[in-house]
Structure formats: C-alpha cells, structure tokens
Amino acid sequence: MAAFIAVANRKGGVGKSTISVLLAHAFAVWGGKRVLVLDLDSQCNASYILQGGEGWLAAKKAHTTIADYFLDTFDEAAAPPRDYLVHNVGDVRTARNTRPALSLLPGSLLLEDVQGELYVKEARQSKDPDVVGQRVRGRLERMLRRFELSYDIVILDCAPGLSFAALAALKTADLVVVPFRPDYVSQLAVDRVALLIEGKRTGADLAEVPMGARRYVCLPNAMRDSGRERNIMEEIALDHPMLASSLPQSPAIADAFDFRDDLRAIEEKYGDATPAVRALYDEIASKLVLKLAA
C-alpha cells in the first residue's frame, strides 16, 4: 500500500515542483522505493523536470496526461490507470547504474478545464453546488488512490490555488509537505493552507490540533541564513510544525530544475546541496513511518 505525500502551498513560486521531484529522486534512489509522481499542476513543471519537453509532448499527443486520465476514467470506466503512466523517468541513476523505479502521470495544460467539465458532468446528478463539489472531489480522491497497490510512494505535486484536484490531493495525503520561502506573504500562505489541510476555519481552531497530530509539515526553502529569514521561520514555527531540515538558496537546486537527457548520480545532480537534500529525505522518510504507524 503506497504512502501518499502531497507537496502543496496556495502560493506559487515556493518550490513545490522542485521539491516533489527532489523527493521522488531521493525515495527512488536512496530509499529503493517504487515511486510515482502525479503532476496535478497545469504548469506541468514536474513533468518537464522528469521527462523534458519532448517527453511531455509525447504524452500530450498520446492523450495520456492527468487531464485525460481524469476525463476518461471519471465514470469508473475500465481504462487501466497504468496506461497513463510513463515509467523510468528522471535523469538520475541508482548506485548500480540503472534507472530507478520512478514513474510519472504527466501534467496537462488543460487540467483546470477538465475539472470544469467534470463538475458540469456531476451537476447533472444534483443541483446543490456543495454536493456536486464534494462528489467531484471524492471521485478524484478515488482516482488518485487507484495507484496505491502498485507503488510504495505516491507524490502529489499540487497546483497553487484551489482546485478539486488539489483538494482531493490534500485529503488523500498521509503527509503534506508545505514548502515556503521566508518572506511575509509566504507566512500568510502557510497559515491559509494549514487551515485547508486540517479542515479548520480559523487559527484558533487550528491551534487546538496538537502540532504532532497535524498531517502537514513546513519546509523552509531558498534559505540564505539571514537573521530576518530566521525570525520569519521562528514566527511560523509558533503555529505550525516545522521540519528541522531546510533547503538552502543554491544554484545546484535551481539547476536541478533542468531536465538533462543523460543519467547521473543523484549527488551529481544536487551538487553541494546534496547533504541538505539527503537530510530532508531522511526526515520526511522518518515522519512518514511515524504517520503511517499512527
């Protein structure tokens, strides 16, 4: 049974796709796990990082993107989910010089449109918008879960903002990683996404949920170790569970965003940021074990 990790924040530009891919590489290479990335962001960045533009275009032409998957199988049709997956993606290799067990359900520029279509489809069954919304989200949750028997880790790279797919991902996830950049607006964004994840309306409601019982953890990204950044991090940590790990502002991580058509060691890909990536992987892996045990 797969463990589901969502990487989410309603704010854009905080590194969700980079971190989704980074965790996918880490779990597949260092953890030896069978990993699937579901690209739920219509920017398709995770797809570009993992298979390059040409690979993504091939999936688009073959109608095997996440939007196609949602549209084709929404009515519980028999199309096997595996038909939509691309295997052996990414540009890192294992220690044995083989491709890691890393698969991708590529993103689609049309994901928002398709969600609108699904809403209209479901609206034929009910006139209550809340009921329709819940049903669409529920169906998407079931569709995300259809991969749980074939993988050890499923990573859900969420779009910024709210969508049925993002809500379904947050509901499905065993652990939600909330990356943020240490600035004022990111601080507000963490507060808001936390309410969404825990299903609370106000900060006071959220405060009643013990830190250890929350389904999310915050990850400081692009840290430059300035006093101001540390202050913002401390302020966020008063209200939200914070990972001990953080990712530094690093050209190596920025460059990792580029797909390269040759396999290399994960340590080569992440360069001098590798110790930080490794520490993050170790911490997330141990958190996941605790969450699943609970």
Partner 1 sequence: MGKATKELSGKSKEKYFRELLRAHGGIEPGEAKRLERVLFDEVRHIRVRWPVPERGKGARVVGAAGPSAAEAPAASAFDPNAFSLVVVLRTDGREGLLAKLGQIGSAEHLRAIAKAQHVAVDPALTDRAAIEAAILAGTERRIANRQAAAS
Question: Could you tell me how many residues of this chain bind partner 1 (CB under 8 A)?
Answer: 28
Helix (H) or strand (E) holding 93: strand 92-93
User: Binding residue for partner 1 (CB under 8 A) from 279, 285, 288, 291?
Assistant: 279
User: Binding residue for partner 1 (CB under 8 A) from 57, 203, 258, 289?
Assistant: 203
Question: According to the binding rule CB under 8 A, does residue 260 interact with partner 1?
Answer: no
Rounded CA separation 85/271 (Å): 29
Q: Any residues with CB less than 8 A from the CB of 74 and at least 6 apart, and which? A: 118, 121, 139, 143
Question: According to the binding rule CB under 8 A, does residue 149 interact with partner 1?
Answer: no
Task: Supply the Cα-derived Rg of the chain in whole angstroms.
Answer: 18
Residues 97-116 interacting with partner 1 (rule: CB under 8 A): none
Query: At 220, phi and psi to the nearest 5?
Result: -70, 130
Question: According to the binding rule CB under 8 A, does residue 207 interact with partner 1?
Answer: no
User: Binding residue for partner 1 (CB under 8 A) from 54, 231, 254, 264?
Assistant: 231
Closest CA to 171 of 136, 211, 208, 199: 199
Rounded CA separation 200/209 (Å): 10
User: Binding residue for partner 1 (CB under 8 A) from 54, 235, 255, 258?
Assistant: 235
Closest distance to partner 1 from the beta carbon of 227 (Å): 3
From the CB of residue 197, how many other CB atoms can be counted at a distance below 10 Å?
20
Question: According to the binding rule CB under 8 A, does residue 58 interact with partner 1?
Answer: no
From the CB of residue 80, how many other CB atoms can be counted at a distance below 10 Å?
9
Applying CB under 8 A, the span of 116-124, 128-136, 166-174, 233-241 interacting with partner 1 comes to 233-241
User: Binding residue for partner 1 (CB under 8 A) from 54, 83, 113, 225?
Assistant: 225
User: Binding residue for partner 1 (CB under 8 A) from 237, 252, 263, 288?
Assistant: 237
Question: According to the binding rule CB under 8 A, does residue 191 interact with partner 1?
Answer: yes
Question: According to the binding rule CB under 8 A, does residue 251 interact with partner 1?
Answer: no
Whether the Cβ atoms of residue 38 and residue 47 lie closer than 8 Å to each other = no
Question: According to the binding rule CB under 8 A, does residue 61 interact with partner 1?
Answer: no
Closest distance to partner 1 from the beta carbon of 188 (Å): 5
Question: According to the binding rule CB under 8 A, does residue 187 interact with partner 1?
Answer: yes
Whether the Cβ atoms of residue 265 and residue 97 lie closer than 8 Å to each other = no
- 189: amino acid identity, one letter: A
CA distances from 73 to 61, 76, 178, 236, 260 (A): 18, 5, 29, 40, 33
Interface residue list for partner 1 (CB under 8 A): 184, 187-188, 191-192, 195, 201-203, 210-212, 224-228, 230-232, 234-235, 237-238, 244-245, 279, 283
